[in-house]
Amino acid sequence: MGTATGRAFDAETLRRGIEGNTGNTLLSLYADDAEIRIVDHNHQPSEPTVLRGRGQIAELLDDIYSRDMTHKLEQCVVQGDHAAFSESCQYGDGTRVIAESMVTLRDGKITNQLLIQAWDE
């Protein structure tokens, strides 16, 4: 589970981060200059939500983990300087969310993430 640059991406930290109660552990996996592009029903591929840097990513994670919902890492595959993972989430009212991510890694940290998500309406 290593990267081409040496330091390994920690899939167990990813699991603990996703399934935890705050976004702090998950945030530790992002490089300072990381970028996330989010595509969903409200943000189509031609105009995704784009977050740049750990500050904006922290705001997103704080928002997500303040909600009444659970998160589960379903699968994670790491190969060289890339990883892909699936997560499922459920709000307290039963609404379900599925998210798929493809990430680029540098020294074991996420530098770029494409997140595609869908939810019950």
Question: What is the tens place of the pLDDT at every residue in 47-68?
Answer: 999 999 999 999 999 999 999 9
Task: Kindly tell me if the per-residue pLDDT of 5 is higher than 50.
Answer: no
List pLDDT tens digits, range 95-107: 999 999 999 999 9
Q: Quote the CA–CA distance of 121 and 103 in Å, as a whole number.
A: 27
Summarize the confidence of residues 31-45 as an average pLDDT.
97
pLDDT at 2: 42
Question: Could you tell me the pLDDT band of residue 69, with boundaries at 50, 70 and 90?
Answer: very high
Residues 6+ apart with CB under 8 A from 109: 7, 9, 29, 30, 31, 34
Tokens of 116: 């595609």
Tokens of 25: 């552990």
In the chain, what percentage of residues exceed pLDDT 70?
95
Q: What is the mean pLDDT of the chain?
A: 94
User: Hey, what long-range contacts does 68-77 have (CB within 8 A, 24 or more apart)?
Assistant: 68/92, 69/97, 70/19, 71/18, 71/19, 71/20, 72/18, 72/19, 73/14, 73/15, 73/18, 73/19, 76/11, 76/14, 76/15
Instruction: Assess contact for 87 and 96: CB atoms under 8 A.
Output: no
Question: Could you tell me the pLDDT band of residue 3, with boundaries at 50, 70 and 90?
Answer: very low
pLDDT at 4: 44
Q: Quote the CA–CA distance of 73 and 14 in Å, as a whole number.
A: 8
Summarize the confidence of residues 4-18 as an average pLDDT.
84
Task: Kindly tell me if the per-residue pLDDT of 86 is higher than 80.
Answer: yes
Q: Residue written as tokens 């704080």? A: 62
